[in-house]
Chain A
């Protein structure tokens, strides 16, 4: 069973606010990912990290930023939230090796008014 946590689970916030979505995993996975998913739609990779101090942008352009100061922690920040940022944000982690896969957190549903 995967131990990956996301907070908050739900967030309603006004336009222009700065927000940080938290993601933590206790499995010692070196690789972590952020996806954006609108209701009933596909997953889109927006950021990923292969280890501490490593961050890369994903396939979908995003105004968010990420950091990876500790192995277990991969927060995502929006400096100025807009209604177009309304979506579900999913964090995942994985450990390269014999089984290359990802384990997902429960997600954060963000609504920007």
Chain B
């Protein structure tokens, strides 16, 4: 079993929908949680960064961490066709030298 599990999708939604992307993990030592967006044939771009549990909002994006359930989510409000990409969750333990454990990515398609 992988340390970080992520549904590969694809997830297809109409423009304007609220999107929920999720990851589960098994290592309770993870303290830093990230979401990356990767467009086709590009490098991953850091979208959201959270430390420990709680919510963080940035524009249309909200990252949520539930450490008790070992579950993290990324919500996208008012989704746009430009949000179509693969979303990778990543996490790390404290003082791990920035070593990240990645999920496999969820491919999102937002249809006009």
Complex Cα–Cα for A90 and B36 (A): 14
Contact of A101 among B46, B88, B94, B105 (CB under 8 A): B46
Assess the A88–B41 pair: CB atoms within 8 A: yes
Assess whether B97 is in contact with A101, with CB atoms less than 8 Å apart: no
User: Residue B29 at the A interface, CB < 8 A?
Assistant: no
A96 within 8 A of B: yes
Chain A contact patch, size range = 20 to 34
Residues of A contacting B92 in the complex (Cβ-Cβ under 8 angstroms): 100-101
Question: Contacts of A88 on B, CB cut-off 8 Å?
Answer: 41
CA distance A106 to B92 in the complex (A): 22
**Is B85 on the interface with A (CB-CB < 8 A)?**
no
Question: Whose C-beta in chain A lies nearest to the C-beta of B107?
Answer: A40
Complex Cα gap A105–B38 (Å): 11
CB 8 Å contact bits of B33-58 with A (1 = contact, 0 = none): 01010000111111001000000000
Tally chain B residues at the interface, Cβ within 8 Å.
25
Would B43 and A100 count as touching, CB distance under 8 A? no
Q: Are B49 and A101 in contact (CB under 8 A)?
A: yes
Instruction: Tell me whether A42 and B97 are in contact in the complex, defined as CB-CB below 8 angstroms, given that A100-B92, A101-B49 are known contacts.
Output: no
Q: Could you give, for residues 1-12 of chain A, a 1 whenever the CB lies within 8 Å of some chain B CB and a 0 otherwise?
A: 010001000000
Docked complex Cα distance between A105 and B43 (Å): 6
What are 6 A-B pairs with beta-carbon distances under 8 A? A31-B97, A40-B86, A88-B41, A90-B43, A96-B97, A107-B41
A-B CB proximity, top 10 nearest: A94-B98, A104-B43, A107-B43, A42-B104, A104-B44, A106-B43, A100-B98, A31-B98, A43-B102, A100-B32
